[in-house]
Amino acid sequence: MGILKNKVAIVTGAAGGLGEAIARAYADEGANVVVSVNNSKGNGEKIVDKINKAGKSKAVLVVTDVTSEDSVASTVEKTVQRFGKLDILVNCSGIIMRKSLLDHSLEDWEKVMSVDLTGTFLTGKYAAKQMIKQNSGKIINVASIAGLIGYDYVSYSASKAGVINLTRTMASELGPYGINVNSICPGLVITNINRAVVEGNKELYDKSVKKIPSRKLGLPIDIAQSAVFLASEKSNYINGVALTVDGGAICHFNYYGD
């Protein structure tokens, strides 16, 4: 019996990478999962099919624009209509602009903020409305160690810092309703979005690994297992934390550098 048996979870950004890993890990632990994706033409249907064929839980696909209040509200409503409740929300939708301050346009800035920060706000708000009715729930916001240290990608770092403090504020406001809100701050994890950055550059790869105390890069499953813990009853007295899952990389300033 999985530690999330009979729980109901929404995982945004679940078409690949960390979101997919979290959705599948939740399903393996018995949770019914709403695989929330931003495009019906992506990988979402395959993920839902794999979860349903495994037979440990049920999964459905919902297309969600996390920057749209109506779309987010509809996703929560569909979840409750299908499964009767909402126990867990994971905000994993995100984009990154690999640009410095002077290279950023206002359009770049606003695009990242709308998905990474505003999207987290909207989904958290509408999930919280349902969880308050139930007097219980777990909200997990995927941030980054970029939100805790100086980092080269200005809009991404700022948005993730915002997610971390939004998490603290949500935890303070929602705690009296039996809702825990925490963030996960991954370090360098090998997903499709950054694989080419490190795997295609041996020198950069070696530097990155050398500056991580655990001497290895993260895998999506590392983040997923942390998300399982924060969604489970084992974390019931943890609220408002920014959990770094980075092999110790945050111990080093700018671990991409020399």
Residue 114 to residue 211: CA distance in whole angstroms: 32
Q: Is there a contact between 96 and 143 (Cβ–Cβ < 8 Å)?
A: no
Ramachandran sector of residue 168 (left: φ over 0; alpha: ψ -120 to 50; beta: rest): alpha
Amino acid in the structure at residue 189: V
Helices (H), the chain: 17-28, 44-54, 69-83, 106-113, 119-134, 154-174, 192-199, 202-210, 220-231
In 3D, which of 242, 54, 219 has the Cα closest to residue 143? 242
SS3 63: strand
Residue 144 to residue 160: CA distance in whole angstroms: 6
Helix 202-210 / helix 192-199 crossing angle, nearest 10 deg: 100
| 149, burial (CB in 10 Å: exposed 0-12, middle 13-18, buried 19+) | middle
Residue 216 to residue 214: CA distance in whole angstroms: 6
Tokens of 25: 């890990």
Known catalytic residue: 177?
no
From 26, 126, 153, 156, active-site residue: 156
Q: Is there a contact between 183 and 144 (Cβ–Cβ < 8 Å)?
A: no
Residues annotated as catalytic are 156
